[in-house]
Structure 1
Amino acid sequence: MDLHPLPADEAAVRRFSEELWLPFHRALEAVVESHALVDAPDEEIVDAEVEFRLGRLADDHYRLWVAVDGASESSDLAAGNGELAGFVATGVDETPSVFDRPTRLVVGDIYVREAYRGTGLARELMARAAERARDVGCAEMTLDVDVDNERALAFYEKFGFEPLRHQLVVDTDRL
């Protein structure tokens, strides 16, 4: 299993979106009611995600690594070589100098396909995120997790993540 940075290449991003991103979000919407995708054909959703992801990959603070089983180079992603097994996406949350807290690395998403769960791949993806945090001088990592996603909560707690704040949501028509 090799981890490769997702290149800002449309074919590679499309493959990532179809084989990992969309299945991840379909599985998540089945567990977390508030995570439903729009009612549109998968092709339209993938097209929108490809456009969005290409823009994110242009940001120096953003990185996404893809776990590939049976491919040795990032260029293999666009070529369709190897099986995509999982991914982790990170971004840097820079702290303004007026606050007394360190800059944090944000784990935006982490996903391992079912066939690769229990293999240690999720730990490897988290280790890659931690390596990125150290490389860019982040003393802490943070992430958001839906309160209904008990499996993910248990996973993150094993790593020592602790609640920092509560995010509250209200429909503006109620106010």
Structure 2
Amino acid sequence: MTEHDAFVTISGDVVYRQAVVSDAPDMARLSAQLGYSAGETRLAERLGHILTLPDHVILTAEYEGGVIGWIHAHARCLLESEPFAEIAGLIVDRKFRGRGIGRTLVKRCGEWTSSASLGRLRVRMNVNRQEAVSFYEQMGFEPVKTQRVFDKSIRPRLK
């Protein structure tokens, strides 16, 4: 049994497992449903890189051979607080929402958090996505603070 086998479960007709690079086309299609048009090639590159990082996990929900949902979480180590896991992304195909798939993905992510010896699971979201706010509150997440996010483009150095 490999480390990846520990993440494989079957619930009804849905298989929950660790993502693989060949999932990129389905994952890109799902990301577009949230307004993130990453593109298959670029998403595959990112996915391939992230899958090599030991402090990240990407789990999928698969139905009839296609990915219908995914969750990505990673460890966060900050000077001012104890290490925790943070959900970086969660999406379930709109045709499959309301069937417990997102709940199962979050639960599995919580199991990964525990196995990584992290005592807390955090998520950040756009407060305008009221369905997401309600979903996480129903899952037992509690609001901690409200933030504004600022972004600045930085030109990468050529190597």
Specify the TM-score bucket, using the shorter chain as the normaliser.
0.7 to 0.9
The alpha-carbon distance between structure 1 residues 165 and 131, as it changes in their structure 2 partners (threshold 3 A), is: same
Contact 2:28 2:39 in 1 (8 A): no
Runs of at least 4 residues of structure 1 off by over 3 A?
Answer: 16-19, 169-172
From the two aligned structures, give the one with the greater helix fraction.
1
> Who is 2:5 aligned against?
none
Listed as ranges, the matches of 1:14-163 within 5 Å are 14-23=24-33, 25-26=34-35, 37=36, 45-70=39-64, 82-96=65-79, 99=80, 101-163=81-143
Residues 162 and 15 of structure 1, relative CA distance in 2, 3 Å threshold: same
Alpha-carbon shift at residue 19 of structure 1 (Å) = 3.2
Change (3 A) 1:117 1:169: closer
Distance between the aligned counterparts of 2:41 and 2:135, measured in 1?
31
SS in 2 for 1:123: helix
Q: Number of aligned pairs?
A: 139
More strand as a share of residues:
2
**Structure 2 unpaired stretches of 5+:** 1-13, 153-159
CA offsets 1:54-92 (integer angstroms, 9 cap, x no match):
22222111111110013xxxxxxxxxxx13211111101
Q: TM-score of the superposition, structure 2-length normalised?
A: 0.76
Pairwise CA distance, 1:117: 1.2
Larger Rg: 1
Q: What RMSD over aligned residues (CA atoms) do the two structures have, in Å? A: 2.2
Bigger relative CO (Cα 8 Å, ≥ 6 apart): 1
Instruction: Give the TM-score normalised by structure 1.
Output: 0.70
Over 3 Å counting, the alpha-carbon distance change for 1:148 and 1:60 in structure 2 is: same
Deviation, structure 1 residue 120: 1.0
Percent identity over the alignment is 19
